[in-house]
Chains A and B, each alone.
Chain A
């Protein structure tokens, strides 16, 4: 999501970014945005100091404290891997810890502590290498004194410094002396040819703990005397509590009290505190609450679709310009309308936040993707300075964007409950736990979209004109990211993947960004999650219309884009496309798409069972430059493929009626299951030594269109909506 933000930052002047203000959450201000290089005089920034990131025990255990949250994407392993490489540490000695909110842990580019936009490895690559190399230099400095040998004559290997005469000192022995060594400003980094760990498939550091129930997530925080808080959220976004009767709720054993609190977005809600989840949850069932929904738009998906369709017929904001005059005279035309629903992230771990508020200080435990922003939100609610809020980053049971909100919605909410309880004289710590129903109905969805596309072409693959309209809510307008994402009135997360498509089509793109009373958010791969579907199914349709092979057609269009070609060619080669004869009733489907600076290509093999496709085989190829940990990359592609496949399944949608979300849990908001996995899935990585690019999101967008293209090959029917119709 934030790739565009980075581009914008680069494009503007790299001068300022978010500044957190105590009043209302954030404001823009002068937040210096410098490059990673040390300032004159060799002064290093906090995020360049090894002491903030590396600690070495006497037994040689090396713990890397990472400034990034691991939401499953594997940076808890790949960042220590990068440090270990430059340190020449032994991999079996490496451990990882998630850093609390802190100056040293701010992203060097974003200047806030956050995870998003598949940027972690990309932005941390040089930073963590340099930290590892600095640590190594300091260990060598300590060894130099011990051995009486100039540091230049020492070498390092697998956790030892070795003198020319064969004397060895372990990193554990040298650790305390090394910390007293000066921190070098500049360090020599390895060349990719010297890498021993980077590039080698490496198992996750948390594999055992997460396979045995030992991993502690935010949900698992337990403190003495802690209360559990279950919320009563409004049925319509923005509604306020009109009146409520908590008598029956409070009669339930274990219930402490019920508090009315402000929620993000101007709503109010109720918080039921109890000595455990179950009494609080039971109390919610018997609460009588009346809501004030006056003046609120009550969103309705069907009505919204009709409104979007009307909007699509009217001129919108211009995103890209091109001559469309050939539309009228083109020998052939494609006119297509595409629709995409709201989608909820539904990470497996329901949202939760634990707070121990003591009046003049506060400690928070939460799986946040936006530590700096969420810490400031808590401070603002409680009237504290951010540094008075100790903000612990917990391992998160999935995120997919949901833990990265500009409004800090659920963290803000927990802070409001902490404030209300404190005002009522309650001093015990509390853990707010959302139920799955709170999550599914809680908004912050991938927006609903409608595309209308008119293409004039010559019937031989040549596009003469392309008029494209996208209708959908802006994710960022009105929030802290607007200045970096919205250009000339157009939210670039709405147009990404069309506006800068690698295909050399003369696309005239316009948008409508209606305001709707449904909170929206980035959802793994953001705008690409719908835009890739439109682009890749239309390209396929153009190939068929021209009697051209869909792979050959794409290759001819992408001839200037070597990374696209490399990924596409690798997937095609590994799949046997064009060489293998498929069984009767089966067909290929192909798609390739770039997002977050990486390219993913899929070749799928599918058949039809009734009116739904069945996948037999998926071959994926990815170009994400240098593969830091190929095993993680494979996992991210496998997982993104499942998430994208899930968007095709009937039932994979959030709908609203009279302002109320109609789904409530996974029985009516469908995800892909184990049984949806094709029997054969393979992931191939294009070799590269260039600095790494994103991998958390790029595998999501191209899978749904690859499947739709296989369906078109099998049935002749072009699918124009996600999920596929039941």
Chain B
């Protein structure tokens, strides 16, 4: 049994410790907002926060988050920065297919929590680790800047 906090509540799971957090969320707990894209931490679709820092859930063994706080896209809207990012995403009509956007939002929140006034170069650097095959980057960029203004 591995215990951690999931979106503010205690969570116990009975799975092998090397099971990636992604599959614990999707298959064991039943939270499907965190997406499977590559399985090797190159696309960012599975981005979650562990103790407030972004992690790639597809390569994070669940044993490594024992006793920690795991936050997923399902709960990030309860957070002031998370809500601001989601609102900016809607205002800028960012999404197309939308499959990568859980990860994009989580990455943007992590960026804004670490850096309240990111420059264009900061945004480029931080967000380049999250792929979008539809090519929504221009709107993501504008939405991140707008969200930064909203929380300033």
Binding site for B on A (CB under 8 A): 70-74, 203-204, 206-217, 219-220, 222, 228, 253, 275-278, 281, 346-350, 395-400, 433, 435-437, 631, 635, 638-643, 646, 665-667, 671-677, 679, 681
CA distance A253 to B132 in the complex (A): 35
A396, closest chain B residue (CB): B97
Question: Could you tell me if B96 and A72 are in contact, using CB atoms closer than 8 angstroms?
Answer: yes
Given contacts A665-B38, A677-B137, contact A398 B97 (CB under 8 A): yes
Q: In the complex, how many angstroms separate the beta carbon of A352 from the nearest chain B beta carbon? A: 9
Interface size on B, residues (CB 8 A): 61
* A contact residues around B112 at 8 Å (CB): none
Interface on chain B toward A: helix, strand, loop, or mixed SS?
loop
15 A-B residue pairings within 8 Å (CB atoms): A73-B96, A204-B93, A207-B95, A211-B86, A398-B97, A398-B133, A639-B134, A643-B133, A665-B39, A666-B42, A666-B43, A673-B131, A674-B124, A674-B130, A674-B137
Given contacts A219-B36, A666-B43, contact A278 B19 (CB under 8 A): yes
Partner of B93, one of A395, A635, A641: A635
Question: Could you tell me if A71 and B27 are in contact, using CB atoms closer than 8 angstroms?
Answer: no
Partner of B140, one of A219, A400, A674: A674
CA distance A395 to B130 in the complex (A): 21
Partner of B37, one of A72, A207, A350: A350
Question: Could you tell me if B96 and A74 are in contact, using CB atoms closer than 8 angstroms?
Answer: yes
Question: Could you tell me if A672 and B32 are in contact, using CB atoms closer than 8 angstroms?
Answer: no
* A contact residues around B74 at 8 Å (CB): 212-213
Partner of B32, one of A219, A643, A676: A219
B34, closest chain A residue (CB): A213
CA distance A207 to B96 in the complex (A): 8
* B contact residues around A350 at 8 Å (CB): 36-37
B32, closest chain A residue (CB): A220
Partner of B135, one of A214, A253, A639: A639
Question: Could you tell me if B131 and A207 are in contact, using CB atoms closer than 8 angstroms?
Answer: no
CA distance A646 to B132 in the complex (A): 11
* A contact residues around B93 at 8 Å (CB): 203-204, 207, 631, 635
CA distance A73 to B135 in the complex (A): 11
Question: Could you tell me if B136 and A212 are in contact, using CB atoms closer than 8 angstroms?
Answer: no
Partner of A635, one of B23, B89, B136: B136
Partner of B77, one of A212, A433, A675: A212
Interface string of B33-70 (1 = CB under 8 A from A): 11111111011010000000000000000000000000
Q: In the complex, how many angstroms separate the beta carbon of A522 from the nearest chain B beta carbon? A: 16
Partner of B99, one of A228, A276, A397, A671: A397
CA distance A631 to B140 in the complex (A): 15
Q: In the complex, how many angstroms separate the beta carbon of A714 from the nearest chain B beta carbon? A: 22
Question: Could you tell me if A348 and B133 are in contact, using CB atoms closer than 8 angstroms?
Answer: yes
7 closest cross-chain pairs (CB), A and B: A213-B33, A642-B135, A397-B99, A210-B98, A72-B97, A213-B73, A639-B135
CA distance A667 to B38 in the complex (A): 9
Q: In the complex, how many angstroms separate the beta carbon of A459 from the nearest chain B beta carbon? A: 40
Q: In the complex, how many angstroms separate the beta carbon of B122 from the nearest chain A beta carbon? A: 11
Interface string of B2-30 (1 = CB under 8 A from A): 00000000000001100110010011101
Given contacts A631-B93, A667-B40, contact A222 B32 (CB under 8 A): yes
Question: Could you tell me if A348 and B132 are in contact, using CB atoms closer than 8 angstroms?
Answer: yes
Given contacts A203-B93, A635-B139, contact A675 B128 (CB under 8 A): yes
Q: In the complex, how many angstroms separate the beta carbon of A231 from the nearest chain B beta carbon? A: 14
* B contact residues around A395 at 8 Å (CB): 97-98
Q: Does B94 contact A (CB under 8 A)?
A: yes
CA distance A373 to B32 in the complex (A): 29
Question: Could you tell me if B37 and A211 are in contact, using CB atoms closer than 8 angstroms?
Answer: no
Given contacts A211-B105, A222-B32, A349-B97, contact A398 B38 (CB under 8 A): no
Partner of B90, one of A208, A397, A642: A208
